[in-house]
Structure 1
Amino acid sequence: MYEIETMTLPEYQLAMEAYAIKQTLRREDIAMQAWFNQTVQATKGSDKHPKPRYKNFKEFYNTEEQEDEIRAQFEPDYTSKFITKKREQQLIQERFEKLQELKQKRKGGN
């Protein structure tokens, strides 16, 4: 308890970031166990030709993305590559939808 009282604000924020990353790694361990369980049970496709729902662990749980989000919360100058990528994908999707809408209008649709 004494350590917290003597910490400076930057030291405290660094400790909180380290704790959040430690929790992420703990969740990764839990997710890894769940991954092993689901690879045995979770499938998609027909009963005759089942396929695993997730092809790799990263699809199931992305530790890098979790750590990236934590860094974005604690570091003011940090730019999250995953958030940037999501924004780009969302922008592309919006543009594609707008293009489809314009094509529909040209054809004489609503």
Structure 2
Amino acid sequence: MMKKSIALICFALCTGAGSAAQAANNGDAACTQLSSDIAARSALFVKVADAAPDLTDIIPSAPAAVRQRVHDKTLALHNIANEIWSLRTRMAYLDCTQAGTFAY
């Protein structure tokens, strides 16, 4: 169940990241940089989500060290998601052409 939730979050955040990484139609360097940053952070999100330990390993009987690693991973995913959202918000604020490729 947890893997599906993470996959859905990643899909929602990463949708459009590939096409948004292309050069801005209006030639705005800031928008292009934001697109590149979003694509990089989206790739990092996927990498962290795929790394061990699996989020399903957080069961009450798991050793404290395993639960802590799962907590750290969850916190990292939340932080990356917040960074992506901040970048997307900045892109929309700047009225970047690429902002239209994202579903808000």
Shorter-chain TM band: 0.3 to 0.5
Higher RCO, 1 or 2 (CA under 8 Å, sep at least 6)? 2
**TM-score, normalised to structure 2's length?**
0.40
